[in-house]
């Protein structure tokens, strides 16, 4: 039997073992649901009476008991009903003997402890699953090879519904006891230790010790984790987030932890690394989802992203926020207290400028109305010197005509609306004067038109919306108008009425039907759908792939971390932002004051040495000072380079994907720019193990095999140029093929 077949059989056996336990847990969960229903029924039965009139004391007691039982049963039912997926996500195999030779242990002597989102016990009150927040679950997050806390093997269990689909192990000791199967990267580390002798064991121990120091660093201030590709920066940072939640639970559960990654594909990936981070205390967002009410995945061209991300756009946005809304009246005319009041355009402009100096637009309505009333009073006093000021102002503010004018002249503004005003050339020219050259103005204008055409925001638009929100303020609810008796309110968010909507891939509280309705709307309506709300402030912010963030994106993060501690993961050699010094200034401003500490990871154990040496040669040619870690694993398989002419390029691409499918057992990525996206997508349809990705989406991800399509085009079309290609070339763990056009 071949080695891959042995590994596949071992994985199947381990999945079957975990599936048997998960089945038992869900059977107990079903019993718990039935018991909860019985409690609820019993509660409803209490306090019933056939009497009419005053309630007796014993009946009042029954009513209190009823309310308590029904309330507690409803809470329990809610907890049980939401455990539809990933209830059991972890397992610990523990040794309590304290032996110095765990490799000699009998596997049957180990304690098995399952970790999940909810505590579940069997009929004998024995724990089947331990709630992840319980002290007994702490070693799942705190154990490291340096301080294993009795853990021999830590296992992450991945599920789809009630079906176990994968396991991933971390080995906490140098060698596993005989009979203990280790799956995934943990198995890789164990194999490195066993096959490379004492020198390799020392390297592995060093890696683990340095990672542990970063994980357990003090929570205050800023902890930066740097290093080249494959050095485990992301895993260290995520374990640090889990460690902080446990070390100071009150602070971080109350204040919340924000984890930010470069793309939705990345956030889906890290959800599998530490499933418990899906709890309410941790918010997981891609950089395009950071503003509530806005979701963006579309990427701008390099030129447009540079314009939108740079600090100079802030001046443009400041001017834009002071613009008079399109269609607003240019003068005010009304008849108040017997006087014809007229305020011309120049006076209105002065009022707007004066109010905006001290008020956010949406919070300045009262001040603007008061300033307008004062101008009207000055005119009325000229014609009626004996008039009472308070009487006139009362009449002014009670005027329906004034109400109508204010709604048109000073409307509540969604921060997305002013950004769309830039589709008007005149508005763009006024706001960009002295800031952007003609080429950049044209590029910005074209990007807004593309948003209006497609009904989608770009990732670079999100920090601009956030900046405009800070300038305009939250929209204020207007006084509700009386509804007709037969009017039916549209229920946009059913959750407030106790209706739970569950569906994979949809935002919370939104159903597939909602998305179909949204898709049918006008593109402009889709851009303005939802509500942009005030950003939440977090107790801790974790940022991965931080080297890619623009100054505007750092400012967006800074608004959410004003009082936070930070964990930041970065590698400057992989940066896609072309002006690192500008970004660094914005980053320091976002951090605020506080202690800085830095941990550097310098050993690559993701990529085979043959693959990483190829990638390192590419980046060193143009970035001589790139942070190049040491790859410690060899496969004997060099990077395969293939060329093909235009006519046979798509066919060759499929042939090379088929070849990789035969060589590796796991996942394969085909990475290409838009120029070859169609051919890459067709190749991805050859197997469910293959995905087609654009270069930037590969950030933070890894695959068993990678096909890099047209690397020169990747350099030319990507914002980071050669640095983006370096990212792509370091995604493969075992096999890599580079396909070039002839």
**pLDDT tens-place string over residues 131-153:** 877 888 888 877 878 788 999 99
Please tell me which residue, 513 or 24, carries the higher pLDDT value. 24
Residues near 499 by Cβ (< 8 Å), separated by ≥ 6? none
Q: Is residue 666 part of a domain?
A: yes
Within this chain, do residues 586 and 653 fall inside the same structural domain, yes or no? no
pLDDT mean across residues, the chain: 82
Angle, helices 609-622 vs 722-729, to 10°: value is 170
Alpha helices in 134-230 (DSSP H): 139-142, 185-195, 197-215
Q: Is residue 415 part of a domain?
A: no
Within this chain, do residues 98 and 123 fall inside the same structural domain, yes or no? yes
Q: Is residue 494 part of a domain?
A: no
Q: What is the pLDDT of residues 224-268, one digit of tens each?
A: 999 988 888 888 888 788 778 877 878 887 888 999 988 887 777
| Amino acid 272: pLDDT | 56
Q: Decide if pLDDT at 513 tops 70.
A: no
Q: Is residue 365 part of a domain?
A: yes
Q: Is residue 501 part of a domain?
A: no
Within this chain, do residues 141 and 25 fall inside the same structural domain, yes or no? yes
Of 409, 439, 469, which one is at a domain's C-terminal end? 409
CA 631 vs. chain centroid, Å, equals 30
Within this chain, do residues 651 and 556 fall inside the same structural domain, yes or no? no
Strand locations in 186-338 (E): 222-227, 257-261, 282-286, 332-336
What's the rounded mean pLDDT across residues 595-611? 89
**What percentage of residues in the chain have a pLDDT greater than 70?**
81
Within this chain, do residues 219 and 355 fall inside the same structural domain, yes or no? no
- In the numeric block, the tokens 């609306």 are attached to 417
| Amino acid 498: pLDDT | 38
41, 42, 72, 81, 118 from 37: Cα distances, Å? 6, 9, 11, 12, 18
Judged on CB neighbours under 10 Å (0-12, 13-18, 19+), 218 is exposed
**What is the DSSP annotation of 51-87?**
--SSPPHHHHHHHHHHHHHHHHHHHHHHHHHT-SS-S
Q: Is the dihedral of CA 667, 668, 669, 675 positive or negative?
A: negative
Q: Which among 667, 605, 654 has a CA at the least distance from the CA of 631? A: 605
Lowest mean pLDDT among 172-176, 309-313, 470-474, 724-728: 172-176
Strand partners, 224: 568, 598
Q: pLDDT tier at 689 (50, 70, 90 boundaries)?
A: very high
d(CA 35, CA 12): 35
Alpha helices in 334-424 (DSSP H): 345-356, 365-383, 389-397, 400-409, 416-421
Within this chain, do residues 621 and 592 fall inside the same structural domain, yes or no? no
- We report the CATH number of the domain holding residue 664 as 3.40.50.300
Identify the DSSP state of 364.
-
Q: Is residue 665 part of a domain?
A: yes
Within this chain, do residues 135 and 244 fall inside the same structural domain, yes or no? no
Q: Decide if pLDDT at 485 tops 70.
A: no
d(CA 542, CA 564): 10
| Amino acid 72: pLDDT | 53
**What percentage of residues in the chain have a pLDDT greater than 90?**
47
Both structure tokens of 437: 């050259």
Cα end-to-end distance, the chain, whole Å: 40
User: Pairing relation of β-strands 668-671 and 690-693?
Assistant: parallel
Within this chain, do residues 567 and 691 fall inside the same structural domain, yes or no? no
- Residue 269 lies in domain: 213-291+535-601
Lowest mean pLDDT among 109-113, 275-279, 387-391, 612-616: 275-279
What's the rounded mean pLDDT across residues 292-309? 91
- In the numeric block, the tokens 């660093």 are attached to 217
Of 345, 376, 409, which one is at a domain's C-terminal end? 409
Q: Decide if pLDDT at 732 tops 90.
A: yes
d(CA 36, CA 647): 66
| Amino acid 465: pLDDT | 97
Q: Which among 193, 210, 211 has a CA at the least distance from the CA of 202? A: 193
Most confidently modeled of 8-17, 187-196, 505-514?
8-17
Within this chain, do residues 184 and 123 fall inside the same structural domain, yes or no? yes
Q: Decide if pLDDT at 507 tops 80.
A: no
Q: Decide if pLDDT at 48 tops 80.
A: no
d(CA 681, CA 666): 18
What's the rounded mean pLDDT across residues 720-734? 91
d(CA 88, CA 70): 27
Q: What is the pLDDT of residues 327-353, one digit of tens each?
A: 999 999 988 888 888 999 999 999 999
Within this chain, do residues 654 and 706 fall inside the same structural domain, yes or no? yes
Q: Is residue 446 part of a domain?
A: no
Q: Decide if pLDDT at 476 tops 50.
A: yes
Both structure tokens of 42: 């019993």
Of 601, 617, 638, which one is at a domain's C-terminal end? 601
Please tell me which residue, 32 or 283, carries the higher pLDDT value. 283
Within this chain, do residues 597 and 622 fall inside the same structural domain, yes or no? no
d(CA 168, CA 182): 8
CB 230 within 8 A of CB 627: no
| Amino acid 200: pLDDT | 36
CB 231 within 8 A of CB 601: yes
Both structure tokens of 686: 């050859």
**Number of neighbouring beta carbons within 10 Å of residue 15:** 19
| Amino acid 210: pLDDT | 76
| Amino acid 577: pLDDT | 83
d(CA 642, CA 625): 29
Q: Is the dihedral of CA 626, 629, 630, 633 positive or negative?
A: negative
Within this chain, do residues 79 and 176 fall inside the same structural domain, yes or no? yes
Domain total of the chain? 4
What's the rounded mean pLDDT across residues 159-175? 85
CA 327 vs. chain centroid, Å, equals 37
CB 152 within 8 A of CB 99: no
Q: Is residue 297 part of a domain?
A: no
Q: pLDDT tier at 193 (50, 70, 90 boundaries)?
A: very low
Q: Decide if pLDDT at 385 tops 90.
A: no
Q: What is the pLDDT of residues 613-671, one digit of tens each?
A: 999 999 988 888 888 888 878 888 999 999 999 999 999 999 999 999 999 988 999 99
Q: Decide if pLDDT at 468 tops 60.
A: yes
């Amino acid at each position: 039997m071949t080695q891959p077949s042995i590994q596949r059989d071992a994985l199947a056996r381990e999945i079957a073992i975990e599936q048997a336990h998960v089945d038992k847990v869900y059977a107990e969960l079903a019993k718990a649901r039935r018991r909860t229903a019985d409690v609820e029924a019993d509660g409803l039965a209490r306090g019933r009476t056939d009497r009419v009139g005053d309630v007796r004391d014993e009946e009042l007691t029954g009513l209190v008991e009823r309310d308590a039982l029904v309330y507690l049963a409803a809470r329990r039912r809610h907890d049980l009903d939401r455990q539809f997926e990933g209830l059991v996500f972890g397992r610990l195999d523990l040794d309590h003997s304290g032996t110095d030779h765990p490799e000699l242990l009998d596997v049957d002597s180990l304690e098995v402890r399952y970790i999940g989102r909810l505590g579940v016990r069997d009929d004998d009150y024995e724990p089947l699953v331990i709630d992840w927040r319980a002290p007994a679950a702490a070693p799942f997050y705190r154990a490291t090879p340096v301080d294993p806390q009795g853990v021999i093997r830590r296992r992450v269990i991945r599920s789809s519904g009630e079906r176990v689909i994968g396991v991933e192990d971390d080995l906490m000791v140098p060698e596993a006891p005989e009979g203990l199967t280790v799956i995934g990267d943990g198995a890789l580390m164990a194999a490195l230790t066993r096959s490379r002798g004492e020198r390799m064991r020392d390297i592995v121990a060093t890696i683990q010790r340095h990672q542990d120091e970063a994980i357990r660093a003090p929570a205050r201030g800023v902890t930066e984790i740097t290093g080249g590709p494959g050095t485990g920066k992301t895993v260290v940072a995520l374990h640090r987030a889990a460690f902080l939640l446990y070390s100071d639970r009150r602070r971080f559960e109350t204040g919340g932890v924000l984890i930010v990654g470069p793309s939705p594909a990345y956030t889906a990936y890290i959800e599998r690394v530490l499933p418990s981070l899906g709890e309410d205390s941790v918010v997981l967002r891609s950089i395009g989802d950071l503003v509530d009410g806005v979701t963006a995945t579309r990427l701008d061209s390099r030129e447009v992203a540079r314009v939108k991300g740079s600090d100079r756009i802030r001046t443009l946005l400041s001017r834009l926020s002071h613009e008079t809304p399109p269609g607003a009246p240019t003068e005010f005319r009304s008849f108040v207290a017997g006087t014809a009041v007229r305020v011309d355009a120049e006076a209105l402009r002065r009022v707007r400028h004066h109010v905006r100096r001290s008020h956010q637009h949406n919070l300045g309505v009262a001040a603007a109305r008061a300033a307008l009333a004062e101008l009207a009073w000055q005119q009325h006093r000229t014609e009626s010197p004996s008039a009472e000021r308070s009487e006139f102002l009362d009449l002014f503010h009670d005027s329906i005509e004034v109400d109508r004018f204010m709604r048109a002249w000073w409307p509540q503004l969604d921060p997305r609306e002013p950004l769309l005003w830039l589709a008007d050339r005149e508005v763009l020219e006024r706001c960009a004067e002295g800031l952007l050259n003609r080429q950049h103005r044209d590029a910005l204008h074209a990007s807004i038109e593309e948003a209006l055409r497609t009904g989608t925001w770009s990732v670079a638009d999100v920090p601009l919306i956030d900046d405009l929100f800070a300038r305009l303020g939250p929209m204020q609810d207007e006084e509700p108008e009386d509804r007709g008796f037969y009017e039916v309110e549209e229920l946009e968010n059913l959750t407030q009425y106790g209706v739970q909507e569950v569906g994979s891939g949809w935002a919370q509280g939104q159903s597939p039907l909602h998305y179909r309705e949204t898709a049918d709307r006008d593109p402009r309506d889709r851009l303005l759908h939802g509500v942009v709300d005030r950003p939440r402030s977090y107790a801790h912010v974790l940022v991965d792939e931080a080297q890619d963030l623009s100054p505007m994106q750092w400012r967006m993060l800074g608004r959410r971390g004003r009082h936070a501690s930070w964990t930041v993961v970065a590698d400057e050699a992989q940066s896609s932002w072309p002006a690192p010094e500008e970004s660094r200034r914005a980053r320091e401003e976002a951090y605020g004051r506080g202690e800085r500490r830095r941990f550097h990871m310098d050993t690559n154990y993701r990529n085979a040495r043959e693959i990483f040496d190829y990638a390192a040669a590419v980046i060193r040619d143009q970035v001589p000072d790139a942070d190049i870690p040491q790859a410690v694993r060899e496969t004997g398989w060099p990077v395969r380079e293939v060329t093909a002419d235009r006519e046979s390029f798509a066919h060759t691409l499929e042939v090379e994907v088929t070849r990789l499918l035969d060589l590796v057992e796991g996942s394969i990525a085909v990475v290409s720019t838009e120029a070859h996206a169609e051919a890459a997508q067709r190749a991805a349809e050859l197997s469910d193990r293959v995905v087609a990705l654009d270069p930037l989406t590969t950030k933070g991800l890894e695959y068993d095999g990678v096909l890099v399509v047209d690397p020169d085009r990747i350099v030319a079309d990507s914002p980071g140029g050669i640095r983006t290609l370096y990212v792509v070339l370091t995604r493969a763990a075992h096999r890599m093929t580079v396909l070039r056009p002839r």
